[in-house]
């Protein structure tokens, strides 16, 4: 009896949790959805989502070797579906990258070499895999196991289908009038450079992707940024004509910079998800620097914190704005999602070392992390010799041109060891204090001239 009750409670708990999350449209209250297509479908979609697990996909063209924070919103959206018990597919457009999506572009994309696309595909697979893993490990934690994300490359099916079958079989279901009416086509047709047939055909490919995923995985939902609505509508049209089945498109709002530019590759303002392109520290700082006017919106979009918890953070922020509590939470949660616990630790340590002057944080940094953080720092290897003064060390490290400069600047308070001001040039350098546990001493002259001394 007890076992039965416990099982029932577990089943109810599971059902209840899934039930409350399964209706992804609820995320509208977080600002996560901008549009739904067909427009009148909201009630049907809610019923469909509540009735049983569904399949959704979102696509990314490998036009760079990493995704960026704009793309991240689409991934977070897919994660919400996964949390609701649905099946998420992330599509990497190995084939569509060769065509080039004209949506939101003023000019045609340069043709990309196959070896570069292949390299980019690897980068995107790694980003997607990492984010889904980090989410399950650090954010979803030990709740029920999630349905694993499926990552596909649309080259898989385009390498199998003949051009005549695509144009002759699929192309005839898409009507010219509708294809031509899309904003992505109209704006380009009216531009001085016009539009090539290749770019015009992009809609056919994205539409066929959806048809393929519908047939192979019963995928009835597609999500994308708001600039994807035209392509999504073409897919809807194709599936309605070929299969006579209803499918639904959802778009997320476009994330823009303070200047109102869409964050992305084209605008050249991308904040990348690969640590080699944007370090975890720079990534963390990007979120830390978000203005008060943006932070609540971003917490709702990019974290999984409940709405009540976000309101609470905002209330605390109004009481003590200088602590930047919501910015800190945002930076912590998004860095955890993208770079995992290790990346977050590195980022927080670097922030403490740079902005809080924390000796402990500096001591925990590895020498390569330090060199990266204090980029431009001069790195010097030195032999520890007893009895050397701070002035001796400063001169050996090449911090000053002359001894009199050194004495003047150190005495005036412009010299720091491990971010602590040291204004006596004749003080003996104390290896027990000034040499950190990582066998390094960090010297700063003025505001930002750094010297890293590595003790041999
Ligand atoms: N700033 C953004 N905000 C929200 N979604 C975005 C943003 N940038 C891209 N996306 C979405 O991410 C998905 C994949 O975009 P993709 O990588 O193919 O192009 P992109 O990053 O927009 O490229 P580009 O910057 O060259 O236009 C699409 O659904 C797109 O709408
Ligand atoms: N067209 C999308 C990427 C994409 C590619 C293929 C798809 O099936 C779906 C989406 C973009 O450029 O942003």
- 385 alpha carbon to ligand 2 midpoint, in Å? 61
The angle at the Cα of 444, spanning 440 to 446, to the nearest 5 degrees, equals 180
Q: Whose CA is nearest to atom 20 of ligand 1?
A: 264
Residue with tokens 């004209």: 102
Q: In what order do the strands lie in the sheet with 219-225?
A: 35-37, 248-252, 219-225, 55-60, 87-92, 150-153
DSSP 8-state class, residue 195: -
Closest ligand 2 atom, CA of 225?
13
Asked, as a colleague might, if the bond just before 38 is cis with ω within 30 of 0, I would say yes
One digit per residue, the tens of pLDDT, for the chain of length 456 reads 333 333 333 433 343 343 347 899 999 999 999 999 999 998 999 999 999 999 999 999 999 999 999 999 999 999 999 999 999 999 999 999 999 999 988 888 889 999 999 999 999 999 999 999 999 999 998 678 899 999 999 999 999 999 999 999 999 999 999 999 999 999 999 888 899 999 999 999 999 999 999 999 999 999 999 999 999 999 999 999 999 999 999 999 999 887 788 888 877 788 999 999 999 999 999 999 999 999 999 999 999 999 999 999 999 999 999 999 999 999 999 999 999 999 999 999 988 888 877 888 888 887 777 877 787 788 999 999 989 999 999 999 999 999 999 999 999 999 999 989 999 999 999 999 999 988 999 999 998 899 999 998
Rg (CA), the chain: 27
- 65 alpha carbon to ligand 1 midpoint, in Å? 14
Question: What pLDDT, on a 0 to 100 scale, did the predictor assign at position 451?
Answer: 93
The angle at the Cα of 85, spanning 79 to 86, to the nearest 5 degrees, equals 70
- 353 alpha carbon to ligand 2 midpoint, in Å? 41
ipTM (interface predicted TM): 0.95
* Pairing assessment for the beta strands 420-421 and 415-417 based on DSSP bridges: antiparallel
> Is 177 strand, coil or helix?
helix
Give the start-end residues of each E strand in 301-426. 378-382, 415-417, 420-421
Residue with tokens 């990346």: 343
Mutational test site, ligand 1, from 31, 225, 265, 271, max ligand atoms within 8 Å of CB: 225
Closest ligand, as measured to the CA of 228: 1
Closest ligand 2 atom, CA of 61?
3
- 138 alpha carbon to ligand 2 midpoint, in Å? 29
Distance CA 410, CA 358 (A): 21
Mutational test site, ligand 2, from 71, 97, 224, max ligand atoms within 8 Å of CB: 224
Pocket of ligand 2 (CB under 6 A): 59-61, 91, 93, 96, 101, 154, 206, 209, 224, 228, 231
Q: Is there a contact between 298 and 327 (Cβ–Cβ < 8 Å)?
A: no
Q: Is there a contact between 346 and 309 (Cβ–Cβ < 8 Å)?
A: no
Distance CA 67, CA 124 (A): 6
**Contact residues for 310 (Cβ-Cβ < 8 A; gap 6+):** 296, 299, 300, 303, 326
- 350 alpha carbon to ligand 2 midpoint, in Å? 36
Provide DSSP, 254-270: PPB-TTSPBPSTTTT--
Of 397, 376, 378, the closest CA to residue 388 belongs to 397
Closest ligand, as measured to the CA of 231: 2
Question: What pLDDT, on a 0 to 100 scale, did the predictor assign at position 109?
Answer: 84
Question: What pLDDT, on a 0 to 100 scale, did the predictor assign at position 368?
Answer: 75
* Helix (H), strand (E), coil (C) string for 390-451: HHHHHHHCCCCCCHHHHHHHHHCCCEEECCEECCCCCCECCHHHHCCCCCEEEEEECCCEEE
- 133 alpha carbon to ligand 2 midpoint, in Å? 23
**Contact residues for 272 (Cβ-Cβ < 8 A; gap 6+):** 64, 66, 67, 68, 278
CB atoms within 10 A of CB 449: 14
């Amino acid at each position: 009896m007890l076992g039965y009750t416990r099982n029932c409670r577990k089943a109810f708990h599971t059902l209840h949790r899934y039930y409350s999350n399964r209706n992804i449209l609820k995320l509208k209250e977080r600002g996560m959805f901008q549009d739904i297509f067909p427009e009148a479908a909201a009630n049907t979609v809610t019923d469909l989502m509540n009735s049983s697990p569904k399949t959704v996909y979102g696509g990314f063209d490998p036009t760079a070797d990493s995704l960026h924070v704009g793309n991240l919103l689409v991934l977070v959206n897919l994660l919400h579906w996964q949390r609701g018990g649905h099946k998420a597919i992330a599509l990497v457009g190995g084939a569509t990258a060769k065509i080039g999506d004209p949506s939101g572009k003023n000019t045609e994309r340069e043709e990309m070499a196959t070896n570069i696309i292949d390299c980019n595909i690897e980068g995107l697979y790694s980003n997607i895999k990492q984010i889904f893993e980090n989410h399950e490990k650090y954010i979803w934690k030990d709740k029920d196991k999630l349905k694993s994300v499926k990552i596909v490359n649309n080259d898989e099916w385009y390498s199998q289908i003949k051009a005549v079958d695509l144009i002759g079989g699929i192309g005839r279901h898409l009507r010219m009038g509708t294809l031509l009416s899309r904003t992505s086509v109209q704006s380009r047709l009216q531009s001085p450079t016009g539009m090539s047939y290749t770019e015009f055909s992009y809609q056919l490919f994205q539409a066929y992707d959806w048809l393929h995923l519908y047939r192979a995985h019963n995928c009835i939902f597609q999500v994308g940024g708001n600039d994807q609505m035209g392509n999504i509508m073409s897919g809807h049209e194709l599936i309605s004509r070929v299969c006579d089945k209803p499918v639904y498109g959802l778009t997320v709002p476009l994330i823009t910079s303070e200047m109102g530019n869409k964050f992305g590759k084209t605008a050249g303002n991308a904040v990348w998800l690969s640590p080699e392109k944007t370090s975890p520290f720079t990534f963390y700082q990007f979120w830390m620097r978000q203005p008060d006017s943006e932070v609540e919106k971003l917490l709702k979009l990019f974290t999984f914190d409940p709405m009540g918890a976000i309101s609470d953070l905002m209330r605390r922020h109004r009481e003590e704005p200088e602590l930047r509590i919501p910015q800190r939470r945002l930076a912590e949660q998004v860095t955890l999602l993208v770079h995992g616990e290790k990346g977050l630790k590195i980022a927080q340590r670097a922030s403490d070392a740079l902005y809080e002057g924390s000796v402990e944080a500096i001591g925990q940094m590895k020498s390569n992390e330090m060199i990266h953080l204090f980029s431009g720092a001069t790195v010097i290897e030195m032999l520890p010799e007893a009895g050397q003064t701070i002035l001796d060390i400063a001169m050996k490290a090449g911090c000053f041109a002359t001894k009199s400069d050194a004495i003047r600047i150190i005495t005036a308070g412009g010299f720091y060891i491990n971010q602590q001001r040291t204004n006596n040039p004749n003080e003996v350098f104390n290896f027990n204090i000034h040499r950190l546990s990582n066998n390094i001493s960090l010297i700063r002259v003025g505001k930002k001239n750094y010297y890293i001394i590595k003790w041999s």
